[in-house]
Amino acid sequence: MQERGDLESLIETFEQQDEQLENARVLLELADEAGGDRASVEEARELVEDVESTVQTLEKRRMFGGEHDDNNAILSINAGAGGTESQDWAEMLLRMYLRYIESQDWDAEITDRQDGEEAGIKSIDILVEGDYVYGTLKAENGVHRLVRISPFDSSNRRHTSFAGVDVAPEIDDDIEIEINDSDINVDTFRASGAGGQHVNRTESAVRITHHPSGIVVQCQNERSQHKNRSMARKILRSKLYEREMERREEKAAEKYEQQNDVDFGSQIRSYVLHPYQQVKDLRTEVTLNNVESVLDGEIHEFIEAYLLQEETADDEPEADDEVPPQ
């Protein structure tokens, strides 16, 4: 019923644009008959501009044609090797994404956070809710590289830090992801950090280990162990689904010899603060020099370029497709 409603709304939008273009055509004919009536011409111009704006919105919506692009998403950030440097970089990325999420009028809920010993974060999981969240944020999947003069180095040397960003769709209950109880261990422990006496005195935090995949998730944000357990299972289901999708994509990539290694040597974006200032996406070649604005959450240009590039790639004919003679 939801899919039907979306399709009916889309058809209605197309029909409305056709009607507006027809009205603009009639207005221009009337203006011509009246010897160039400026009011009619201006009204026709406004109608056409409205249609153009709507078509641009529809074009962006077409980029979100993936099976789960309209789902909420689990955004995970993990500090790479490098201790405090990478942990501080992971927290900088967290701030960047929270600013971007706020600019999109989405909602964010931190489900698990592991702070670094001195500064920053080791890892964090965030449930992001809104329109086409996964379809948008999937562009951020990968390794992010930072080059800067370290604030933690008394010798003011330049350091390179890495952090991994992982985005998985939140899987609805009607999608079957089988989790056998025999395949998991569920541990409870006392939550760390702020949360009040109840949270810190009771074993409300939950950690689930899925042995076949090696995935470990934990949740300690809620006061109730039951709520934390439910959220942890939801995150596990999402990560298992993402793992399966990655496996299928890897098989397809192997078929066409396009497999890329996913490690800290294959970053998707570089953020350079010294000796010059520049952010460059290595997949799309989009380069911006206003690093402060990017770190304040202005990353939409990178995301849109990536999504447009992926859409163009999907539209290209496969190698086996025969091109008819002209």
User: Same domain, yes or no, for 284 and 150?
Assistant: yes
Q: How far is CA 277 from CA 87, 99, 142, 213, 317, in A?
A: 21, 20, 21, 40, 39
Q: Please, are residues 231 and 221 in contact by the beta-carbon 8 Å criterion?
A: yes
pLDDT beneath 50: ranges in the chain: 195-199, 255-263, 323, 326
Beta strand 278-281 with 215-219: parallel, antiparallel or unpaired?
unpaired
* Residue 326 forms part of a structural domain: no
Q: How far is CA 227 from the centre of its chain?
A: 25
What SS3 class is residue 224?
Answer: coil
Burial of 281 (0-12, 13-18, 19+ CB in 10 A): buried
Q: Total structural domains in the chain?
A: 3
Q: What is the pLDDT of residue 193?
A: 59
For residue 186, the enclosing domain spans 181-252
Distance between CA 149 and CA 275 in Å, rounded? 9
User: Same domain, yes or no, for 98 and 132?
Assistant: yes
User: Same domain, yes or no, for 141 and 290?
Assistant: yes
User: Same domain, yes or no, for 227 and 99?
Assistant: no
Single-letter residue type at 224: S
Distance between CA 17 and CA 319 in Å, rounded? 37
Q: What is the pLDDT of residue 263?
A: 46
Q: How far is CA 272 from CA 5, 145, 275, 296, in A?
A: 46, 8, 8, 15
Q: What is the pLDDT of residue 246?
A: 79
What SS3 class is residue 22?
Answer: helix
What SS3 class is residue 117?
Answer: coil
Q: What is the pLDDT of residue 12?
A: 93
User: Same domain, yes or no, for 140 and 7?
Assistant: no
The whole-model pTM stands at 0.66
Helices (H), 104-224: 133-137, 196-201
Single-letter residue type at 123: S
* Residue 229 forms part of a structural domain: yes
Domain boundary among 62, 91, 108: 62
Write the CATH number for 156: 3.30.70.1660
* Dihedral angle of Cα 169, 171, 176, 177, to the nearest 10 degrees: 60
